[in-house]
């Protein structure tokens, strides 16, 4: 009688049987067909030996088959494991092995990784081909074959605290951790989402960000709950996003800030026919002020909806409330990631979990039905994150008098120099506004006198010339003296990103900290 991921799928088929569920290239399927395929694929997975609670990996670019597997795995009573498409074979092997996956669904883009994955994951018994065309290698079973050869099974009926999926976090620090999310977690987030975003049966969502990540995955679930329509492109491509919006009259899309930045560079963007689009949602990482400003300049009428969250929160923690959007965009609240979701408690606390006065920086902690069940096989890490009944996010933020949250920084990206706390995002935001700057990351590097010192890595826009001295001079006019980078590297290569589109600061920091331990 509890929340169940598959309930809303059945409801979509009930209320919009003939309406388009998925639109992928030239394939269009209605909700009745989609549910039928999910029930058949689930039965097919059972025939492969998948039992309740078994883990099934998904390693593929975006497609309708990805969507079907997202529901077929829980329909079969198993646990889905959407794998980050940007990771190395070693990381993926670690996750499959750590989760003891029994089946892996993958498409043509990842065929080359298969031998390695098989070798390092002895529990892996079957590989299901999610791609197009004939099977590229032997020993796999095709998704469509699985659907065709199986009779639909009844929903396994898992619900409530039963785990629906394990989502490995990007691993920007240490070993990736498997975040266990229950049916209750994911459904609670989806109900929040349809309210806050305003999805309904007329919503047409474009899966452009990777479906493996919950930034997009939340809409996989929420659009289904609203009985809307899913459209797909295999992976983010700025030009293709714009074309799809125009062609399919897309109403909603969720991107990470770096993707929006790339779109803004597409020639002719100002005049493209995007009238169907109701809003851009962005999340996963703070939007640099310069990007947001450019976006609002180009589309003054567009709603830019900032959500803040993380995998452990299924994933949304805060969002701008519907009624406040226009206002928020006009005013200073453009920088805010909004207020707590309807059924969550979100506090900004000190190191002893006492709420700090509004306007003061502290750590965000969260309590409520979207908080994860824990980290897979990591009880110690779970206990640390969940202490005192709160989930500790590790994000530093300020909350204003009206409960609006302003993310300041990841706590671990905070630089402590001479006893002063320096939030890297403040310095990054300042430098991002400098003409000619495409990307910037600010990190703390070791300093014998001050402990850490501020260091900036800057990527110039095409054709722009930047010098370290010019960057420092710019920063000196924008931020306090002790926050100005003591050293600057200008480099042509783009910054390394996690699968979630976050800059991998650990990777940037690594060469400087090779022989030392960073305290934060």
**31-47 vs 7-15: helix axis angle to the nearest 10?**
150
Q: 98 or 312: whose CB is closer to its own copies?
A: 312
Q: Determine, following the binding rule CB under 8 A, whether residue 379 of this chain makes contact with its own copies.
A: no
Tell me how far CA of residue 394 lies from CA of 14, 346, 357, 364, 429, in angstroms: 42, 13, 18, 7, 20
Q: Determine, following the binding rule CB under 8 A, whether residue 122 of this chain makes contact with its own copies.
A: no
Pairing mode, strands 126-129 and 141-142 = parallel
Region from 40-48, 200-208, 415-423, 429-437 binding its own copies, contact rule CB under 8 A: 200-208
Region from 131-139, 319-327, 377-385, 417-425 binding its own copies, contact rule CB under 8 A: 319-327
| Separation between Cα atoms, residue 71 and residue 41, nearest integer Å | 9
Report how far Cα 371 is from the mean position of its chain's Cα atoms: 16
Establish how many alpha carbons lie within 13 A of residue 266's alpha carbon, considering only the half-sphere containing its beta carbon: 19
Interaction pattern, residues 150-179, with its own copies; x per rule: CB under 8 A:
-------x--x-------------------
Using CB under 8 A, which residues numbered 387 to 446 contact its own copies?
Answer: 389, 391, 399, 401-403
**Rounded to the nearest whole angstrom, what is the least distance from the CB of residue 418 to its own copies in the complex?**
35
Q: What single string gives the DSSP state of each residue in 339-388? A: EE-TT-EEEEE-TTSPBPPTTS-EEEEEESTTS-SEETT-HHHHHHHTGG
Produce one character per residue of 177-198: b if its CB has 16 or more CB atoms within 10 Å, e if not: bbbbbbbbbbbbbbbbbbbbbb
**Rounded to the nearest whole angstrom, what is the least distance from the CB of residue 31 to its own copies in the complex?**
10
**Rounded to the nearest whole angstrom, what is the least distance from the CB of residue 375 to its own copies in the complex?**
14
Q: Determine, following the binding rule CB under 8 A, whether residue 312 of this chain makes contact with its own copies.
A: no
Tell me how many helices (H) and strands (E) the chain has. 16, 26
Region from 361-369, 406-414, 418-426, 497-505 binding its own copies, contact rule CB under 8 A: 361-369
CA angle 415, 416, 420 (to 5 degrees): 120
Q: Determine, following the binding rule CB under 8 A, whether residue 369 of this chain makes contact with its own copies.
A: yes
Q: 352 or 515: whose CB is closer to its own copies?
A: 352
Applying CB under 8 A, what is the total number of residues that bind its own copies?
Answer: 49
The two tokens of residue 306 are 């900032």
| Separation between Cα atoms, residue 91 and residue 89, nearest integer Å | 6
Q: Determine, following the binding rule CB under 8 A, whether residue 313 of this chain makes contact with its own copies.
A: no
Q: Determine, following the binding rule CB under 8 A, whether residue 201 of this chain makes contact with its own copies.
A: yes
Interaction pattern, residues 10-29, with its own copies; x per rule: CB under 8 A:
xx--xxxx------------
Q: How many other C-beta atoms lie within 10 A of the C-beta of residue 373?
A: 19
Interaction pattern, residues 336-355, with its own copies; x per rule: CB under 8 A:
---xx-xxxxx---------
Q: 188 or 220: whose CB is closer to its own copies?
A: 188
Q: Determine, following the binding rule CB under 8 A, whether residue 214 of this chain makes contact with its own copies.
A: no
Region from 1-9, 90-98, 210-218, 476-484 binding its own copies, contact rule CB under 8 A: 1-9
Closest CA to 64 of 149, 153, 142, 131: 131
Interacting residues with its own copies (CB under 8 A): 1-4, 7-8, 10-11, 14-17, 157, 160, 184, 187-188, 190-192, 194-195, 200-202, 225-226, 321-324, 339-340, 342-346, 367-369, 371, 386, 389, 391, 399, 401-403
């Amino acid at each position: 009688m509890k929340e169940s991921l598959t309930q809303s799928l059945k409801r979509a088929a009930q209320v919009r049987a003939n309406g388009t569920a998925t639109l992928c290239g030239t394939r269009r399927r209605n909700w009745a067909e989609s549910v039928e395929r999910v029930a058949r694929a689930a039965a097919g997975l059972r025939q492969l030996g998948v039992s309740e609670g078994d883990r099934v990996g998904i390693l593929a670019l975006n497609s309708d088959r990805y969507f079907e597997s997202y529901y077929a795995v829980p329909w079969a009573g198993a646990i889905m494991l959407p794998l980050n498409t940007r990771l190395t074979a070693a990381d993926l092997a670690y996750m499959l092995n750590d989760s003891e996956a029994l089946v892996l669904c993958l498409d043509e883009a990842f065929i080359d990784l298969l031998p390695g994955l098989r070798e390092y994951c002895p529990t892996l018994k079957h590989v299901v081909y999610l791609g197009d065309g004939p099977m590229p290698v032997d020993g796999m079973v095709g998704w469509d074959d699985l659907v065709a050869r199986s009779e639909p099974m009844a929903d396994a009926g898992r619900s409530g605290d039963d785990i629906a999926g394990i989502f490995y976090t990007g691993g920007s620090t240490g070993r990736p951790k498997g975040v266990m999310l229950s049916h209750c977690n994911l459904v609670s987030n989806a109900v929040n989402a349809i309210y806050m975003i305003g999805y309904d049966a007329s919503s047409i969502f474009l899966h452009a960000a990777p479906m493996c990540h919950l930034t997009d995955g939340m809409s996989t679930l929420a659009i289904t709950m609203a009985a809307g329509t899913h459209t797909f492109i295999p992976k983010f491509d700025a030009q293709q996003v714009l074309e799809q919006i125009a062609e399919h009259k897309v109403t909603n899309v969720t991107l990470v800030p770096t993707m929006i930045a790339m779109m803004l560079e597409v020639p002719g963007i100002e005049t493209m026919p995007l009238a169907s689009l109701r809003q851009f949602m962005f999340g996963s990482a703070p939007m640099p002020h310069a990007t947001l400003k450019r976006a609002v300049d180009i589309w003054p009428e567009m709603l830019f909806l900032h959500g803040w969250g993380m995998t452990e929160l299924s994933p949304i923690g805060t969002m701008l409330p519907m009624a406040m959007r226009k206002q928020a965009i006009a005013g200073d609240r453009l920088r805010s990631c909004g207020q707590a979701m309807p059924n969550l408690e979100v506090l900004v606390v000190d190191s002893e979990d006492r709420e700090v006065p509004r306007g003061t920086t502290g750590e965000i902690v969260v309590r409520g039905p979207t908080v994860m069940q824990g980290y897979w096989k990591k009880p110690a890490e779970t206990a640390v994150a969940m202490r005192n009944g709160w989930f500790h996010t590790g994000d530093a933020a300020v909350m204003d008098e009206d409960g609006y949250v302003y993310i300041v920084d990841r706590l671990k990206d905070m630089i402590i120099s001479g006893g002063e706390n320096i939030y890297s995002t403040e310095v990054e935001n300042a430098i991002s506004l400098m003409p000619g700057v495409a990307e910037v990351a600010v990190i703390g590097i070791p300093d014998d006198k001050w402990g850490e010192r501020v260091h900036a890595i800057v990527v110039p826009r095409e054709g722009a010339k930047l010098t370290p001295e010019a960057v420092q001079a710019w920063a000196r006019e924008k931020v306090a003296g002790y926050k100005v980078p003591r050293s600057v590297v200008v480099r042509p290569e783009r910054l390394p990103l996690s699968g979630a589109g976050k800059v991998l600061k650990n990777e940037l920091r690594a060469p400087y900290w090779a022989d030392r331990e960073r305290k934060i």
